[in-house]
Amino acid sequence: MGVYTTSDPATGEKIAQYPEISDAEMDDLIGSSATAYRTWRTTPLTQRRAVLVRTAEIYREQADELAELLTMEMGKPITQAKGEVALVASIYQYYADHVEEFMADEHLDIAGPGTAVVRTEPIGPLVGVMPWNYPFYQVARFAAPNIALGNTIVLKHARNCPQSALAIARVLTEAGLPDGVYLNAFISSAQVADAVADPRVQGVSLTGSEKAGSAVGEVAGRHMKKCVLELGGSDPFIVLRDADVDAAAAAAVVGRFANGGQACTASKRFLVEEPVYDEFVRKFLDGTAGWQPDEPTNPGTKLGPLSSRSAVDELDELVQDAISHGAEALTGGHRPSGNGAYYPPTVLVGVTTEMRAYHEELFGPVAVVHRVGSLDEAIGMANDSPFGLGASVFTSDPQQADRVAAELDTGMVWINSTSKSSPDLPFGGVKRSGIGRELARFGFNEFANKKLVRNMEGKR
């Protein structure tokens, strides 16, 4: 039987372990979720809304304590950890503020007699599989809208953040969520597959790797279950010749290195037009110098450790592959010694198609900068990726920005900005970046039954 382990990535010290539950215990959890659904789906919206409001309040009230868990379990710098907690509170508050609007009947303008109404209803127990890089935020994107809608949730969190997982369940209980509506589950990948296949479960949401998404999506498809998959990204950051280079370089540093570069929507490939390439690289490197790895509990730290030593190994393998094939590291590019999972900010140039770093996702503080000769070349290189999550475009020409946005094969495009999550903006991608959307009304409707009620004799 496997375990979930809290290890401090800054030191490598093991702090706590939790065993996986048995198959019988997992079956009981799903049964409890199914039982709770029968009551929760009919609970008045005012009561569901009150739970969401109180959840947001608790996240704000306990922000310091909760942020410390993120820093301890995955190395997130404490200032950024507090920012994540604040974002989570805003997500629960957003769905509290909008649940009545999102649940309202939609009256259709029809040609025939009578009336037609589309009602928004829950579908049943759901399974969530969530990652470690944003332990509270990723769960909130899935849990908040579905709790509001009336679904129930069995949540498998990442193995390296069990205390964060337990804290989420505790907060929801303190907020007044009834037993069984949200259940934490320390289960294995095989048990996830069994849970998705269970007839009582009606859908699954996963945020994670392509490999995990493919496995869960296969099981969901085989058993005719709705799934939302938020997977990897290799987001392009395009700097055109008319861009404000100072602003672009400053945004590039934050977009690449925040959260240790461990974000699917982090800016990863920088495509810079020839006339401003040298200036951008110089200013990007100047900004990068201020992001040296340091102790994550220090309020001034911008770049903490990666989540684990294995994450360092995987990242360094891609960097060394690129360097061995002719790429150059303008800064960084080496794995430091010591027990901590630290990696220096690294900027690679000269990366070509035969190198793994050209197509694979670099999940850490490593930037790849390309020189491009034209707008068309920038768009072509941006789309030359198996991923299609987000993109950033820096230009002073609004018409040019619109053209680039229209031609990029991504789910999100940001003009003169890096990707910034907000409860009222849909999140998701295309290609191998996943299926479906989270947040805003779009996320609310992913696991909703849009039920048509047609009355042939009703008054229009």
CA distance from start to end of the chain: 61
State pLDDT tens for residues 353-406.
999 999 999 999 999 999 999 999 999 999 999 999 999 999 999 999 999 999
- pLDDT (0 to 100) of residue 337: 84
- 264 part of the active site: yes
The stretch 36-64 carries a mean pLDDT of 98
Q: pLDDT per residue over 311-367, tens digit each?
A: 999 999 999 999 999 999 999 999 888 889 999 999 999 999 999 999 999 999 999
Residue 117 and residue 97: Cα distance in Å, rounded? 23
pLDDT of residue 287: 98
What pLDDT does 459 receive?
67
E runs forming strands in 97-234:
106-107, 115-122, 125-129, 152-156, 182-184, 203-207, 226-230
Provide the pLDDT for residue 91: 98
Residue 161 CA to its chain's centroid (Å): 15
Domains identified in the chain and CATH numbers: 3-231+433-455 (3.40.605.10), 235-415 (3.40.309.10)
β pairing state of 414-415 and 392-394: parallel
- Nearest one of 158, 194, 197, 167 to 22, comparing CA atoms: 194
Q: How many residues does the chain have?
A: 460
pTM: 0.97
The confidence score (pLDDT) of residue 338 equals 83
List strands edge to edge, sheet with 267-273: 328-331, 346-349, 366-372, 267-273, 235-239, 392-394, 414-415
* Inter-residue contact 393 to 403 (CB < 8 Å): no
- Separation CA 192–CA 208 (nearest Å): 14
- Other beta carbons within 10 Å of 44: 8
Rounded Cα gap, residues 434 and 216, in angstroms: 12
Which residue carries 């498809």 as its tokens?
221
Catalytic residue among 84, 161, 227, 264: 264
Give dist(CA 30, CA 124) in Å, integer.
Answer: 11
Kindly indicate the confidence band of residue 9, based on its pLDDT and cuts at 50, 70 and 90: very high
DSSP character string of 372-395: ESSHHHHHHHHHSSSEES--EEE-
Residue 72: which residues within 8 A CB-CB, separation 6 or more? 6, 8, 15, 163
Task: Transcribe 188-230 into DSSP letters.
Answer: -HHHHHHHHHSTT--EEEEES-HHHHHHHHHHHHHTT-EEEEE
Q: Running DSSP on this structure, what letter comes out for residue 168?
A: H
- Cβ-Cβ contacts under 8 Å for 459 (sequence gap 6 or more): 115
d(CA 72, CA 164): 10
Catalytic residue, chosen from 73, 84, 230, 361, is 230
% of the chain with per-residue pLDDT over 70:
99
CA distance 128 to 165: 12
CA 459 → CA 112, 117, 297, 328, distances in Å?
Answer: 11, 12, 64, 72
Query: Mean per-residue pLDDT for 90-99?
Result: 98
Q: Share the mean pLDDT of the chain.
A: 97
State which H helix or E strand residue 443 sits in: helix 440-445
351: left (phi over 0), alpha (psi -120 to 50) or beta: beta
Backbone phi and psi for residue 118, each to the nearest 5 degrees, phi listed first: -105, 120
How confident is the model over 263-322, as pLDDT tens digits? Answer: 999 999 999 999 999 999 999 999 999 999 999 999 999 999 999 999 999 999 999 999
The residue-averaged pLDDT of 407-420 equals 97
pLDDT at 164: 98
Amino acid symbol at 73: E
Cα–Cα distance measured from residue 95 to residue 100, given in angstroms and rounded to the nearest whole number: 9
Would you call 230 a catalytic residue per the annotation?
yes
- Per residue in 184-221, pLDDT tens? 999 999 999 999 999 999 999 999 999 999 999 999 99
Q: Name 383's Cβ contacts closer than 8 Å, sequence gap at least 6.
A: 407, 408, 409
Q: Are 341 and 75 in contact (CB under 8 A)?
A: yes
Rounded distance between C-alpha atoms, residue 369 and residue 277, angstroms: 9
Compute the distance between CA of residue 307 and CA of residue 71 in angstroms, rounded to an integer. 10
